A = this chain, B = another copy of it.
Amino acid sequence: MVILLENNATEQQIENVVKHLEDYGFQIHKSTGVQRTIIGAIGVKPNFDTRKIKILDGVSDVYRVTAPYKLASKSFKEEKSIFDIKAVKIGDNEIAMMIGPCSVESEDQIFRLAEVVAKSGAKILRGGAFKPRSSPYSFQGMGVEGLKLMRKAADEFGLLVITEVMQISQIELIYEYADIFQIGARNMQNFALLTEIGKTDKPCMIKRGLSGTIEEWLMSAEYLLSNGNSMVMLCERGIRTFEPYTRNTFDVSAIPMVHKKSHLPVIADPSHATGLRDQVAPMARAAVAAGADGLMIEIHHDPENALSDGPQALLPDQYLQLVEELRMIATAIGRTL
């Protein structure tokens, strides 16, 4: 922490600040310049509330100089994390593809789509069984029946399963049927849920909240890591900005930035980011070009009659063609897909 005193701070004020810092357990380094005094306060207290110093008389500004996350940081672990989930690797050179419908709707539907997923070379099947919906009047998912169908389809085609867990009471059930937990964007800061998932031994992907900063996102990962679960992935799916023409602003620049700050893999979800089928392909290509470790994309063979998010689902053929383009882009940056 670095404290900048005001130009006209008195000796007494400066001493008072120093005393407070020492009482809070910091080691002090004071630098007196021509105009101003700067105090460096050293000590590892990632959750210290810097406002406690900011409100003292004579203080102009306070800068926290250590990231509030530890286990998620590059300082803690230099090399990229690679997870091996039943022989499927995430975070490695190969780009992981998580493909499937928004919601599981029927046995026929999920089997038809799982077949497309397998055919494309992807290894992870996505699908929602419990759906968070902003309207209480909308379809809320098939529930446990959906989980069972997804597991069955995945096993049939040799795929892993990723699905969203919305509340603590669902953890046990989903643990049984899925290979990867997904925390939805609206739950990025549901700390109780994060803590409980952190106590399990199953990998988890945390979607970035619509207004989640990269730092807060890494702090949410920290909740899992500090509770013992080291297999955490992040998923960029668009942030909320002033722009109304696009549903969200897909923050492609977050991908290299997370790679700079953290060792955790970053997945990108262009389907939810854009919300419209014709915008999915360019954004999927952009995410791979920017270095994403994986993609989550929604597909549907009959999107007009999908029970949720049909308009953002690619048709199987559109998806298979996109995979061809993505392979060439992956090659351009020395990766595989």
Contact = CB atoms under 8 A, between A and B. Distances in A.
Contacts of A189: 132, 134, 186
A311 B33 contact: no
Given A31-B29, A51-B276, A311-B51, A257 B242 contact: no
List the number of copies, as a whole number: 4
B240 A211 contact: yes
Interface string A50-62: 0110110000110
Interface in A181-220: 186-187, 189-193, 195, 209-211, 213-216, 219
Nearest to A304: B52
Contact of A211 (B192, B211, B257): B211
Nearest to A284: B289
Nearest to A273: B253
Interface stretch (A86-94, A135-143, A145-153): A135-143
Interface in A231-254: 239-246, 249-254
A249 B246 CA distance: 14
A273 to B, nearest CB: 7
Interface stretch (A107-115, A171-179, A328-336): A328-336
A249 B257 contact: no
B254 A252 contact: no
A241 B244 contact: no
A47 interface: yes
Interface of A: 2, 4, 6-8, 20, 27, 29, 31, 33-36, 38, 40, 42-44, 46-47, 49, 51-52, 54-55, 60-61, 63, 65-66, 68, 75, 78, 132-138, 166-169, 186-187, 189-193, 195, 209-211, 213-216, 219, 222-223, 226-227, 239-246, 249-257, 260-261, 273-279, 282-283, 285-291, 304, 308-312, 325, 328-329, 331-333
